[in-house]
A = this chain, B = another copy of it.
Amino acid sequence: MPRPSASPGRTGRPPLTSRAQILAAARRLIDRDGWEKLTIRRLAAELGIGTTTLYHHIRDKEDLLVLLLNHYVEQRERPDLPGHPRDRVVVAATALHDALAGWPWAAEVLTADGFVGRLDESALWMVEAVLAGAIDHGCTPAQAVDVFRSIWYYTVGEILVRAHSAHRGTGGRPLPSFGDLDPARVPHLAAIGDEWPALAARDTYPQGLRAFVDGLLAQATSPAPPEEGSGAWNGR
């Protein structure tokens, strides 16, 4: 294994370990033992170095995970975007969602401060496409940012809540967020009856997304100023 050639003007002991090696070792470890087994100590052992040394190449575990995430997103196929702006927003947001939903460490990373900014070009196109769709629909850039942020919150929430159910062994009983909520405790659910479990566990991300996009685009391009209290409800 050839050690990386020292760059010119560089001082100090040359590293025996590179970020590329770390990434490769991480992937090896995941493929062999499963993603739950990826821990700082194990990764260091896999590299044959001490844990502290590993911390000289990555800032955090979060840092490592973002590295892995970008690598993972890179090898995903890019869907081609529809021409209609509204549909483009929906498709791009769905792509973003799907890419992250399959990611085991979503919960550890998604809420990170500045997460969106740490995405590679391979993932950033989805953000761009959402913004572009909103702008093409008639939004100002500032409004497009607001649109993206709202969609981002919705997406993060969905992924995190579902991811949590997946992590804990809820053995065949996927009940995100509602969980054991007894419909009898909520008067307005009393009429539902046996269908409750299936109803509580439905996957409605795509449906909700379309409703959200419609609402956001309508709000942004409606004549009424969206700054403070839009429409019928002005303040409380």
Contacts and interface: CB of A to CB of B under 8 A. Distances in A.
Give this chain's copy count: 2
A153 to B, nearest CB: 4
Contact of A204 (B82, B116, B146, B191): B146
Contacts of A118: 179-180
A11 interface: no
Given A175-B113, A211-B212, A189 B157 contact: no
A207 interface: yes
Main secondary structure of the interface of A (DSSP, over half): helix
A124 interface: yes
Contacts of A216: 208, 211-212, 215
A178 interface: yes
5 contacts: A112-B164, A135-B188, A141-B191, A150-B204, A150-B212
